[in-house]
């Protein structure tokens, strides 16, 4: 009988081949990517090229879309031509094209004069057409479509008339008024920047806002130190304090004193003044020797070690834990692991602009795909960490109008110097990210979104946010481009506990640093009990009334409502339990370059 079973094909000669030096081969590829990354702002050329080809091939195979583009160009060209003719005659007809809400490049009255008004309108016409051309092309993946649209916008911004001294009326006006002295100052600013780049020296820190002097100067004591953190306990200012202390877990991408800026807008100082005992983690700025520290180390040596110290200093009390940005994500992971293991030491959990579901993680996802993450891993493999400049590049691109081009115009053409404030000084005091930790963070959370799917493992066992029983307060900000508030809002469908959501005005940093008395601030707040039905974020925002003022006050009331009363202030440290005072705040780690 003939055997009709499928036969296994003979292997190709290359199958089963093992290169004689696999480690050398991989190291060569990684080193190549690491060297490239120094010239590409740590952006993967392959990721950009694949996105471009995906868009181009699908667009070339879409005659209907190409026809629409031609019609769109013609339909918008006629109003632009009509506007140009009337503007040349001195008439001021309404602008046919409006910039985006956050685009203030052409807001000056000088841009309403001919021919500058025509230049700005022609640029906006081109910008809108390219947005139409790079979006809604059938067959292009969402991520790659967003990358192409973003890249097109970045390239167009290079040719904006606002970026040239010859086509920017504000620059021309100042040059005439100052007889060119602004350009002399701008040249000096340019030479200073080139020298700093050539020598690898960053901008000189503003002496007004050095930690321990102008900022991070709330009285306190370092009561614990390990290879990753210093734990700062702040001195009480009231005769009695709330029984449960507060532990603040800041993000390690920046120094902790975003929450302890100047005395006027320090959250730490304000909380202490409200009768709270406050502890804050100050992260060490990692170096190449810390390359193998991972997310588990940040949880174990960070949050858990801080809790052990607090339990020794304030024994028998639960802790209100609050995490900001990455620190909030780490706190959520740690709280889920504690709940899984029966550890109920948390009285509440507060997440400040922190995400636990990364499906809609905002514009930063433009830089997150397999190619980009692998590229970053190779750069960090070579260095042992991700450098501050490499991280800053991505965030600058997200807001290039404000952080790149507008700065160039101000400093190089108008001859202005940046008049810094405490928030700008803090933002310049960036930190590095260890190789292993950042790789795990990008892959497990951003790329694979394992935490929201119940697949994130701590100590080789998965954790689930639904295990958390402590009440949760989540804070989002309306203009957050790092942690969009609708993404932060998702904690309500990922947990089985009471969730209070606060939506406040402002951005990722300025919205959180929103002290009482700050003009123009407002917020919305509502609580969803565990048994309540789900309300989508837009319906929630439409139905929840706005309240003027600072959300800090509402949060303090929420903390008090989940506390057990008052008690005498605890001692500073606990020398008899192994936690002696080590140094005055702000400690040593925050001063590490």
Tell me the per-residue pLDDT of 58-85, one tens digit each, with 9 for 90 and over: 999 999 999 999 999 999 999 999 999 9
More confident residue, 200 or 279: 279
- Interval 509-537 mean pLDDT: 94
pLDDT at residue 350, as a whole number: 98
Least-confidence region, from 324-328, 344-348, 378-382, 441-445: 378-382
pLDDT at residue 14, as a whole number: 45
pLDDT at residue 377, as a whole number: 84
Residue 150's nearest CA partner among 8, 47, 31, 60 is 47
pLDDT at residue 399, as a whole number: 64
Tell me the per-residue pLDDT of 95-123, one tens digit each, with 9 for 90 and over: 999 988 778 889 899 999 999 999 999 99
Tell me the per-residue pLDDT of 319-351, one tens digit each, with 9 for 90 and over: 999 999 999 999 999 999 999 999 999 999 999
pLDDT at residue 20, as a whole number: 54
**Local confidence band at 378 (pLDDT 50, 70, 90 cut-offs):** confident
d(CA 262, CA 274): 17
- Interval 346-358 mean pLDDT: 97
More confident residue, 230 or 382: 230
Pairing of strands 433-434, 385-386: antiparallel
Counts of helices then strands in the chain (DSSP H, E):
21, 17
- Interval 498-502 mean pLDDT: 98
pLDDT at residue 15, as a whole number: 47
Is residue 325 part of the annotated active site? The answer reads yes
pLDDT at residue 2, as a whole number: 43
| Location of structure tokens 């009326």 | 169
* Phi, psi angle pair for 315, to nearest 5°: -70, 150
pLDDT at residue 24, as a whole number: 64
Tell me the per-residue pLDDT of 501-517, one tens digit each, with 9 for 90 and over: 999 999 999 999 999 99
d(CA 277, CA 581): 16
pLDDT at residue 12, as a whole number: 46
Q: What is the CA radius of gyration of the chain?
A: 27
- Interval 365-379 mean pLDDT: 83
Task: Decide if 333 contacts 463 (C-beta within 8 A).
Answer: yes
More confident residue, 325 or 374: 325
pLDDT at residue 400, as a whole number: 61
pLDDT at residue 382, as a whole number: 82
- Interval 30-34 mean pLDDT: 78
Helix (H, G, I), strand (E, B) or coil at 52: helix
Task: Decide if 322 contacts 246 (C-beta within 8 A).
Answer: yes
Those residues with Cβ within 8 angstroms of residue 179's Cβ, 6 or more apart along the chain or in another chain = none
Residue 446's nearest CA partner among 364, 386, 509, 507 is 364
Q: Say how many residues make up the chain.
A: 593
In the chain, the percentage of residues whose pLDDT exceeds 70 is: 92
pLDDT at residue 52, as a whole number: 93
More confident residue, 434 or 381: 434
The ranges assigned to domains in the chain are 45-176, 209-359+449-591
Catalytic member of 217, 325, 473, 504: 325
The CATH number, out of the four listed (3.40.50.1820, 3.30.420.270, 3.30.750.24, 3.30.470.10), of the domain defined by the range 209-359+449-591: 3.40.50.1820
**Local confidence band at 302 (pLDDT 50, 70, 90 cut-offs):** very high
Whether the predicted pLDDT of 38 surpasses 80: no
- Interval 301-306 mean pLDDT: 98
Tell me the per-residue pLDDT of 176-225, one tens digit each, with 9 for 90 and over: 999 999 999 999 999 988 887 776 665 667 778 889 988 999 999 999 99
For the chain, what is the mean pLDDT? 89
d(CA 111, CA 124): 13
Residue 142's nearest CA partner among 263, 32, 58 is 58
DSSP 256: G
């Amino acid at each position: 009988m003939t055997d009709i079973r499928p036969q296994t094909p003979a292997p190709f000669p290359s199958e089963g081949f093992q290169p004689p030096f696999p480690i050398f081969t991989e190291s060569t590829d990684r080193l190549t990517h690491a060297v490239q990354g120094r010239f590409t702002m740590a952006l993967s050329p392959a990721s950009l090229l694949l996105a471009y080809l995906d868009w181009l091939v699908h667009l070339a195979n879409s005659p209907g879309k190409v026809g629409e583009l031609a019609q769109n160009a013609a339909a918008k060209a006629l109003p632009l031509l009509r506007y140009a003719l009337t503007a040349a005659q001195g008439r001021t007809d309404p602008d046919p094209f409006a910039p985006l809400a956050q685009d203030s490049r052409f807001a000056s009255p000088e841009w309403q004069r001919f021919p500058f008004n025509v230049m700005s309108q022609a640029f906006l016409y081109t910008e809108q057409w390219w947005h139409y051309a790079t979006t809604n092309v059938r067959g292009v993946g969402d991520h790659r479509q967003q990358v192409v649209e973003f890249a097109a916008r970045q390239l167009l911004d290079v040719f904006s008339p606002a970026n040239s001294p010859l086509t920017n009326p504000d620059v021309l006006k100042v040059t005439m008024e100052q007889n060119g002295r602004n350009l002399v100052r701008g040249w000096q600013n340019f030479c200073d920047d080139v020298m700093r780049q050539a020598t690898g020296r960053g901008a000189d820190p503003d002496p007004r806002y050095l930690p321990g002097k102008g900022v991070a100067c709330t009285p306190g004591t370092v009561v614990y130190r390990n290879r990753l953190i210093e734990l700062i306990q702040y001195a009480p200012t009231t005769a009695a304090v709330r029984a449960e202390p507060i532990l603040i877990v800041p993000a390690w991408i920046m120094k902790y004193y975003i929450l302890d800026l100047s005395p006027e807008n320090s959250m730490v100082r304000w909380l202490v003044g409200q009768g709270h005992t406050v502890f804050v983690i100050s992260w060490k700025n990692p170096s190449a020797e810390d390359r193998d520290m991972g997310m588990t180390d940040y949880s174990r040596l960070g949050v858990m070690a801080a809790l052990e110290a607090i339990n020794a200093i304030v024994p028998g009390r639960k802790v209100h834990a609050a995490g900001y940005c990455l620190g909030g994500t780490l706190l959520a992971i740690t709280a889920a692991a504690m709940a899984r293991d029966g550890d109920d030491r948390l009285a509440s959990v507060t997440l400040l602009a922190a995400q636990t579901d990364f499906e809609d993680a905002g514009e930063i996802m433009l830089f997150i795909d397999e190619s980009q993450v692998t590229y970053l891993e190779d750069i960090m493999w070579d260095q042992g960490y991700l450098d501050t400049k490499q991280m800053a590049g991505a965030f600058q691109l997200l807001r290039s109008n404000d952080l790149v081009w507008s700065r160039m115009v101000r400093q190089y053409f108008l001859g202005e110097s940046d008049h810094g404030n405490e928030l700008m000084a803090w933002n310049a005091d960036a930190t590095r990210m260890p190789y292993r930790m950042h790789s795990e963070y990008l892959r497990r959370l951003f790329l694979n979104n394992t935490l929201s799917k119940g697949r994130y493992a701590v100590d080789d066992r998965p954790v689930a946010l639904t295990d958390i029983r402590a009440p949760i307060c989540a804070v989002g900000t309306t203009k957050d481009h790092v942690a969009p508030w609708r993404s932060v809002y998702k904690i309500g469908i990922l947990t089985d506990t009471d969730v209070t959501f606060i939506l406040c005005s402002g951005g990722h940093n300025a919205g959180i640093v929103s002290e009482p008395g700050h003009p123009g601030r407002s917020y919305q707040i509502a609580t969803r009990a565990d048994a309540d039905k789900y309300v989508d974020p837009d319906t929630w925002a439409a139905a929840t009334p706005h309240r003027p003022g600072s959300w800090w006050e509402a949060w303090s009331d929420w903390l008090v409502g989940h506390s057990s009363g008052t008690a005498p202030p605890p001692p500073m440290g606990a020398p008899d339990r192994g936690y002696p005072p080590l140094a005055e705040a702000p400690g040593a780690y925050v001063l590490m370059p």
